[in-house]
Structure 1
Amino acid sequence: MAMPQTKPAPVATTDIAVSARSVSKTYGETEALRDMTIEFPRGQLTSLLGPSGCGKTTLLKIIAGLLEPNSGTIEVNGKPVTGPGEDRAFVFQDFALLPWASVMRNVAFGLELRGVAKSEREAIAAKYIADVGLKGFEKSFPHELSGGMRQRVGLARALSVNADVLLMDEPFSAVDEQTRRKFQEDLLSLVQNENKTFIFVTHSIEEAVYVSDQIALLLPRPSRVSEIIRPSGLRMKDVDNIRRDPEYLDTVDRIWALLRSYVE
């Protein structure tokens, strides 16, 4: 079944933090993105969801300034992206921690690179270490932590630099299901409390519907936006009740019906 070529609905009365306009990207003869256009509302979480190889991570890296598009523009807060910037922070799938540094040093590392004084950066890092549930592990090293704890360190590091936009590339894929569910609940709290814009890559339909203000369904390569889905009613629900809510169940089924023909 072909995914419908519907235009994303406009975001009413909401500021746009990040916009991608007619972005295309090729790797040699492989066309990853073609005329990708999408807007990311300020203070909300948008999931990028689609079949494997559809360009989700490529788009995320272009927004981060880690890759250059062949054509098109990315704007963050109305300014064109020409490379990495302090207005964006990246949470990597593989944690990307410094193995020789403590949790405190890892979380404070971005601030250290910016020249923030040690006492100030450690105070900021301590706040976010506590916020992600790692208080008491400040002196621990990555090899002493579980995979879930290492991912929390990566998230705390991204939060500590106070970037407007957090780019998350399948951040929960390497942890067990119980830890993943707890991370999802924690992420909802962060979106509510941090007033940042989250762009979240996932392969999980259930995860996308659970955590997202909007879900961008991407077509197979060369990728474009097929449809924007906004499960708006779920944001008003208690986190314990979302997965039982009829809107959640119906949205999961609807997305699966759109994506199933692309599963090999």
Structure 2
Amino acid sequence: MRSAVLRKEPPPMPAPVDSIVEVRGISKTYGDVEALRSVDLDFPRGKLTSLLGPSGCGKTTLLKIIAGLIEANAGTVTVDGKPVSGPGPERAFVFQDFALMPWATVMRNVAFGLELRGVAKTEREDKARHYIREVGLAGFENKYPHELSGGMRQRVGLARALSVDAEVLLLDEPFSAVDEQNRRKFQEDLIRLRTNQNKTFIFVTHSIEEAVYISDRIVLLSPRPGRVSQIIEPEIDRSGDPERIHRDQHYLDTVDEIWQGLKQYVE
């Protein structure tokens, strides 16, 4: 009598990730300085991914390559399967230094991207007004940038990026120029906006705590030339009181884990 043969079934394949942005073999040099080397990354649709690493590791360079603002020396970037060859309407960039038009009102600044696309004035102002309200600036539509605080100006930049209805929002250290109180409030707002807007956010930061607090996914880049060193997915419940997150043991452990990996690169 033959003995039964037990066959071990292979483990189930993980569900495919729906990536909206795909980076393949990206390298970039500035003269004799190698900023990025052979970077391969996928950015999941509808998630917030932070780029984190030591100063000079190429975080902002990678962000600007994805935005189409600078060219890579090698490699490709695709958004929804289409190659990136320059800026496009499916991506919006939030600059660190606000980049507002000083002669234009909040309304005009927020609606400017829509104006460039030829959207009718009534429609673009309705949409701009909606996002001005979303970022907490209702009532400031007719103010000029010089009449606003730094935090308020950054909110204008965020509203402008949201108003063009881009699929991917690229944020280059958008909270670095504001005080700690405003930074905390912005972080809470960003978590809420990501949930409400269902956009894909790619966020550059130097702050470990900020990255862990706001991110679905953290990409750690190595010292120059920047390469993907590690990908961390903090499993943090962000529902309810946001302040609770800072006391969450998993949050604290993740911050410490990242710091232990990065502190060797701090001079």
The normalised TM-score by structure 2 is 0.94
1:132-188 Cα distance to aligned partner (Å, 9 max, x none): 000000000000000000000000000000000000000000000000000000000
What does 1:240-255 align with in structure 2 at a 5 Å threshold?
240-255=243-258
Q: Could you say what the CA RMSD is over the residues aligned between the two structures, in angstroms?
A: 1.2
1:188-222 Cα distance to aligned partner (Å, 9 max, x none): 00110101100000000000000000000000110
Q: Distance in 2 between matches of 1:117 and 1:96?
A: 24
Q: Is the 8 A contact 2:236 2:245 kept in 1?
A: no
> 1:4: which partner in 2?
none
> 2:178: which partner in 1?
175
> 2:203: which partner in 1?
200
The counterpart of 2:94, out of the listed 54, 68, 91, is 91
Unaligned runs of 5+ in 2: 1-12
What does 1:215-230 align with in structure 2 at a 5 Å threshold?
215-230=218-233
> 1:77: which partner in 2?
80
Q: Is the 8 A contact 1:234 1:248 kept in 2?
A: no
The counterpart of 2:163, out of the listed 153, 160, 164, is 160
The counterpart of 2:27, out of the listed 24, 38, 45, is 24
* Deviation of the 1:236 alpha carbon: 5.0
Bigger mean CA deviation after superposition, 98-107 or 229-238: 229-238
Q: Distance in 2 between matches of 1:209 and 1:170?
A: 14
Q: Distance in 2 between matches of 1:85 and 1:94?
A: 21
Q: Which amino acid aligns with 2:83?
A: P
Q: Is the 8 A contact 1:213 1:235 kept in 2?
A: no
> 2:67: which partner in 1?
64
Q: Which amino acid aligns with 2:189?
A: D
Q: Does 1:126 pair with 2:113?
A: no
3-state SS of 2:50 partner: strand
3-state SS of 1:72 partner: strand
* Deviation of the 1:232 alpha carbon: 2.1
The counterpart of 1:39, out of the listed 35, 38, 42, is 42
Q: Distance in 1 between matches of 2:67 and 2:220?
A: 20
Q: Is the 8 A contact 1:25 1:70 kept in 2?
A: yes
* Deviation of the 1:239 alpha carbon: 1.4
Q: Is the 8 A contact 1:234 1:247 kept in 2?
A: no
3-state SS of 2:96 partner: coil
* Deviation of the 1:233 alpha carbon: 3.0
Q: Distance in 2 between matches of 1:41 and 1:201?
A: 16
Change in 2 beyond 3 A, CA 1:70/1:11? farther
Q: Is the 8 A contact 1:103 1:153 kept in 2?
A: yes
* Runs of 4+ off more than 6 Å: none
Greater RCO (Cα-Cα under 8 Å, separation 6 or more) = 1
Unaligned runs of 5+ in 1: 1-9
* Deviation of the 1:12 alpha carbon: 4.1
Q: Distance in 2 between matches of 1:234 and 1:201?
A: 22
Aligned length: 255
Q: Which has the larger radius of gyration?
A: 2
The normalised TM-score by structure 1 is 0.95
